[in-house]
Amino acid sequence: MDCHSRAAGESEAVSGAVVALVGQPNVGKSVLFHRLTGMRVAVGNYPGTTVEVATAAASFRPGWRILDTPGVLTFPSRTEDEQVAAAALLDPDLRAVVHVGDAKHLRRTLQLTLQLAETGLPMVLALNMADENASWGVDIDPGQLSAALGIPVVETVATNGHGLATLAERIRDCPPAAAHVRYPRSVEDAVAELAAGLPPARVRSRSLALLFLAGDPVAERWLAGRLDGTALAAAVDRRARLTSELGGPVPSVLRAARAAAADRILAAAAPAGPSRRPRLQTRLGRAAMHPVLGLPIMVAALAAMFWFVGVFGAGVLVDLLETQLFAEAVNPAITGWVERVVPFDAARDLIVGPYGLWTMGMTYALALILPIVTTFFLAFGVLEDSGYLPRVAVLTNRVFKSMGLNGRAVIPMVLGLGCVTMATLTTRTLDGRRDRILVTFLLALAIPCSAQLGVVVGLLAGVSAAAVAIWSLVVLVVLVGVGWLAAQLIPGSRTPLVTEMPPLRIPRLGGVAVRTVARLEWYLTEVIPIFLVGSLVVFALDLSGILGAIIDWAEPVVVGWLGLPAATATAFVMGFLRRDFGAAGLFAMAGAGLLTAPQLLVAMITLTLFVPCIASVLMIARERGAGAAAAIVGVAMPLAFAVGGVAARVLDAVGWTG
């Protein structure tokens, strides 16, 4: 897998020493990962929405590396996330697997344990969330379980470190898993036949054969790369034969057998039934998704978030950094220094000119965007860690249903209000290719990122509250309308919502901080270079006269259709590099009194719907392919101008002047 290559590349440093944390989503793998590695993360990882494999050195054993994988609900793997986890299991350097399970969901956990144990890899079962399990008043007997499964079983509480020393101990010397589920005769026959002809692998050929027979795409690709054509065709044939022998899908037969095996183990190792319910936590969690009570709670949560980001981040912090620190102290000092040291005019301009690397690129990235994204990531991290987001998915499912999506799309959409580029990355956690394309498109079109949102709302608020309201309304209507239309046009059917509601938890400051820092690191290392490239491009375009040519070329549209002054064309070209670059350009024009209120509003609407920054276009190309990226840009641009023009005419017709 591509998305896995960076991590795999690093883990090759010490062969045979990778310990993979595997388990269902939301069981605490990432928290455990940070505990077992002392937080020296090597690859950007966004816990909760883990989308890439993270690796880091194990703190309990020099030379070993720990791998944090995205959640896998069950095998055969279906989502991109699950396929990343499946690929990790086939890593030849794997030393051991730690199956992280939720102790309060023992039955669910055991079914996956049995699947993982089939690989015959050295394995430990970490029953995490032992604290929450205890609050249900249920006792688990790890000794019994361990005897029944044939692997060490350790109860842990990742958040407070309980049981982790024991876990590390067991990981160091765990034996190959031996648990064995017997399947119906016809399955066993097919497995035996297939397994005999498979190439050697780190995992047992039995488990490879089972994965292949169940139709796992990762196992299939793995085999396709190692078997010759006839052998592969024979295997595919055998699978088809088994399916017809069973008279139904293979996975359903495997599931039934494993469920029965898990239930037998469960009966011996854990007393049945919940005896006590954690009251307040459950009640709060239910209120938060209640059809009536849930709405004011959602409004309050989002309002609090945007107050923190919009007022504290975009207001107080930006003011402190941009107007006080940068404009008054840092930039004059740097400009003065450059003017003394650098002899050529052009070179000086390149650094501190109007489109300079420092004055435009870095100032912008550090003084304006950084405080806004930092506060946003903090707020989002709190929401994420509290388990509240899936409740928002339930409450907003209706709206997304009209766009041919389901409520899970709300998570990338809200994250997109922070950074569209990063949100595009997390569309991987959505259900199918269709949903991912649709959300990616809507993110690119109509979701303003926090930086842009800050500038736009700040500017329009200066005009009037009505301006902000009109802008929001237009963008929202375009979002829902285009979403509805796109849903009709993009082939494939809608995926209905099926999602787990984790308990509401009090966010851990440590966890939120780690998450925020990981995201900021990603922002600083991957987004800021793009800012600099953007400044460089504008500088080159300006110097070579191309900028002027583009502006002349765009003028008829800008002046004739949108009814804006010719100079706004510059802001739009800048907006192509970065939407909020453009907004900042408009800000300057408005400050100089060059734009009337309706003109500013039209310009903002157009700019918002315009393609997002270059960084996110590159991310779309990487995630969804260059064709999809070109199509998205090709639709968004004309649409932005069309809507802007219509808005200009409507505002003119009703005589709106602010």
Contact residues for Mg ion (CB under 5 A)? Answer: 29-30, 47, 50
- How many positions of this chain bind other proteins (CB under 8 A)? 39
Q: Which C-beta is closer to Mg ion: that of 50 or that of 406?
A: 50
With beta carbons less than 8 A apart as the criterion, state whether 96 and 86 touch: no
Residue from 4, 29, 258, 408 that binds ligand GDP (CB under 6 A)? 29
Rounded to whole angstroms, how far apart are CA atoms 586 and 605? Answer: 12
66 DSSP β-pair partners: 19, 56
Residue 265 half-sphere exposure toward CB, CA atoms < 13 A: 28
- Supply the minimum distance, in Å, between the C-beta of residue 132 and other proteins: 9
- Supply the minimum distance, in Å, between the C-beta of residue 284 and Mg ion: 24
Contact partner at residue 593 from ligand GDP, Mg ion, other proteins, none, CB < 5 to 8 Å by partner kind: none
Helix extents (H) in 386-417 = 389-402, 410-416
Q: Is 182 an interacting residue with respect to other proteins (CB under 8 A)?
A: no
Q: Is 112 an interacting residue with respect to other proteins (CB under 8 A)?
A: yes
Contact partner at residue 20 from other proteins, ligand GDP, Mg ion, none, CB < 5 to 8 Å by partner kind: none
Give the range of 102-110, 410-418, 505-513, 570-578 binding other proteins by CB under 8 A. Answer: 102-110
- Supply the minimum distance, in Å, between the C-beta of residue 85 and Mg ion: 11
Tokens 């802008």 found at: 471
- Supply the minimum distance, in Å, between the C-beta of residue 28 and Mg ion: 8
- Supply the minimum distance, in Å, between the C-beta of residue 616 and ligand GDP: 25
Contact partner at residue 31 from Mg ion, other proteins, ligand GDP, none, CB < 5 to 8 Å by partner kind: ligand GDP
Closest CA to 586 of 598, 604, 573: 604
- Supply the minimum distance, in Å, between the C-beta of residue 136 and other proteins: 6
Q: Is 136 an interacting residue with respect to other proteins (CB under 8 A)?
A: yes
The pair of structure tokens assigned to 291 is 């059809």
Residue nearest ligand GDP by beta-carbon distance: 28
Over the window 54 to 73, marking each residue x when it contacts other proteins by CB under 8 A and - when it does not, the resulting string is: -------------------x
Q: Is 158 an interacting residue with respect to ligand GDP (CB under 6 A)?
A: yes
Give backbone dihedrals phi and psi of 490, rounded to 5 degrees, phi first: -75, 125
With beta carbons less than 8 A apart as the criterion, state whether 125 and 167 touch: no
Q: List all residues 6 or more positions away from 411 whose beta carbon is below 8 Å from its beta carbon.
A: 49, 389, 392, 393, 426, 429
Binders in 466-525 for ligand GDP, by CB under 6 A:
505, 508, 511
Residue from 79, 128, 133, 535 that binds ligand GDP (CB under 6 A)? 128
Residue from 131, 245, 542, 555 that binds ligand GDP (CB under 6 A)? 131
- Supply the minimum distance, in Å, between the C-beta of residue 289 and ligand GDP: 17
With beta carbons less than 8 A apart as the criterion, state whether 378 and 509 touch: no
Tokens 């379980």 found at: 145
How far CA 222 is from CA of 89, 91, 208, 211, 263, in Å, comes to 11, 11, 9, 11, 32
Cβ burial of 560 (10 Å; 0-12, 13-18, 19+) is: exposed
Q: Which C-beta is closer to ligand GDP: that of 31 or that of 314?
A: 31
Give backbone dihedrals phi and psi of 124, rounded to 5 degrees, phi first: -130, 145
Q: Is 84 an interacting residue with respect to other proteins (CB under 8 A)?
A: no
Contact partner at residue 159 from ligand GDP, Mg ion, other proteins, none, CB < 5 to 8 Å by partner kind: ligand GDP
Q: Which C-beta is closer to other proteins: that of 150 or that of 215?
A: 215
- Supply the minimum distance, in Å, between the C-beta of residue 108 and other proteins: 5
With beta carbons less than 8 A apart as the criterion, state whether 88 and 70 touch: no
How far CA 257 is from CA of 187, 250, 262, in Å, comes to 11, 11, 9
Give the range of 199-207, 248-256, 441-449, 604-612 binding other proteins by CB under 8 A. Answer: 248-256
Residue from 359, 406, 535, 606 that binds other proteins (CB under 8 A)? 406
Classify residue 506 by its DSSP letter: P
Classify residue 556 by its DSSP letter: I
- How many positions of this chain bind ligand GDP (CB under 6 A)? 22
Residue from 213, 393, 474, 609 that binds other proteins (CB under 8 A)? 393
Give the range of 195-203, 288-296, 417-425, 505-513 binding other proteins by CB under 8 A. Answer: 288-296
Rounded to whole angstroms, how far apart are CA atoms 528 and 11? Answer: 27
With beta carbons less than 8 A apart as the criterion, state whether 194 and 111 touch: no
Residue from 237, 500, 552, 652 that binds other proteins (CB under 8 A)? 500
Q: Three-class SS string for 139-203?
A: CCCHHHHHHHHCCCEEECECCCCECHHHHHHHHHCCCECCCCCCCCHHHHHHHHHHHHCCCCCCC
Instruction: Write out the H or E segment, with its range, that includes residue 126.
Output: strand 123-128
- Residue 466: count other Cβ atoms within 10 Å of its Cβ: 13
Binders in 48-87 for ligand GDP, by CB under 6 A:
48, 50, 71
Q: Is 396 an interacting residue with respect to ligand GDP (CB under 6 A)?
A: no
Contact partner at residue 498 from Mg ion, other proteins, ligand GDP, none, CB < 5 to 8 Å by partner kind: other proteins
- Supply the minimum distance, in Å, between the C-beta of residue 76 and other proteins: 8
The pair of structure tokens assigned to 84 is 């990343």
Question: In terms of residues, how long is the chain?
Answer: 658
Burial 42-66 (b: 16+ CB within 10 A, else e): ebbbbbbbbbbbbbbbbbbbeebbb
- Supply the minimum distance, in Å, between the C-beta of residue 87 and other proteins: 19
Q: Is 31 an interacting residue with respect to ligand GDP (CB under 6 A)?
A: yes
Q: Which C-beta is closer to ligand GDP: that of 136 or that of 561?
A: 136
Residue from 3, 7, 27, 528 that binds ligand GDP (CB under 6 A)? 27
Q: Which C-beta is closer to other proteins: that of 61 or that of 108?
A: 108
Q: Is 91 an interacting residue with respect to ligand GDP (CB under 6 A)?
A: no
Contact partner at residue 107 from ligand GDP, Mg ion, other proteins, none, CB < 5 to 8 Å by partner kind: other proteins
Q: Angle formed by the axes of helices 370-385 and 450-463, to 10°?
A: 110
Q: Which C-beta is closer to ligand GDP: that of 413 or that of 512?
A: 512
Q: Three-class SS string for 222-255?
A: HHHCCCCHHHHHHHHHHHHHHHHHHCCCHHHHHH
- Supply the minimum distance, in Å, between the C-beta of residue 50 and Mg ion: 3
Rounded to whole angstroms, how far apart are CA atoms 342 and 523? Answer: 30
Residues in contact with ligand GDP by CB under 6 A are 25-31, 47-48, 50, 71, 128-129, 131-132, 157-159, 385, 505, 508, 511
Residues in contact with other proteins by CB under 8 A are 24, 73-74, 76, 78, 104-105, 107-108, 111-112, 136, 248-249, 251-252, 255, 259, 274, 285-286, 289-291, 390, 393-395, 397-398, 406-407, 496-501, 503
